[in-house]
Amino acid sequence: MARHYITVIGNKYNKDTPTKLIFAFHGRTNPNTMVRTYYDVEEASNGNAIIVYPSGLPEEGPKRNWSNG
């Protein structure tokens, strides 16, 4: 069973500098692509973070769940 995610590396990332790692989880009815557009985490981080938007596993219908599998 594969899990999918979106990873965004801020434009100010420097491999020699400690960087914030932010996980932005979606709710049960919205996919990670939608969460990315309405959480506004990327703008709030000002390019100084690595942001991961994981995707839950599909349930019956359009819902997604973190504990399936």
Q: Residue 57: which pLDDT band, with cuts at 50, 70 and 90? A: confident
Is 6 a residue whose pLDDT tops 90?
Answer: yes
Q: What is the pTM of this model?
A: 0.83
Kindly report, residue by residue over 20-36, the tens digit of the pLDDT.
Answer: 999 999 888 888 888 89
- How many angstroms separate the CA atoms of 61 and 66, rounded? 15
* pLDDT at 68 (0 to 100): 65
Q: Which two tokens stand for residue 66?
A: 């973190």
- How many angstroms separate the CA atoms of 65 and 39, rounded? 19
Q: Where are the domains of the chain?
A: 12-48
Q: Exposure pattern of 8-32 as b/e (b: 16+ CB <10 Å)?
A: bebeeeeeeeebeebebebeeeebb
Kindly report, residue by residue over 33-55, the tens digit of the pLDDT.
Answer: 888 998 889 999 999 999 999 99
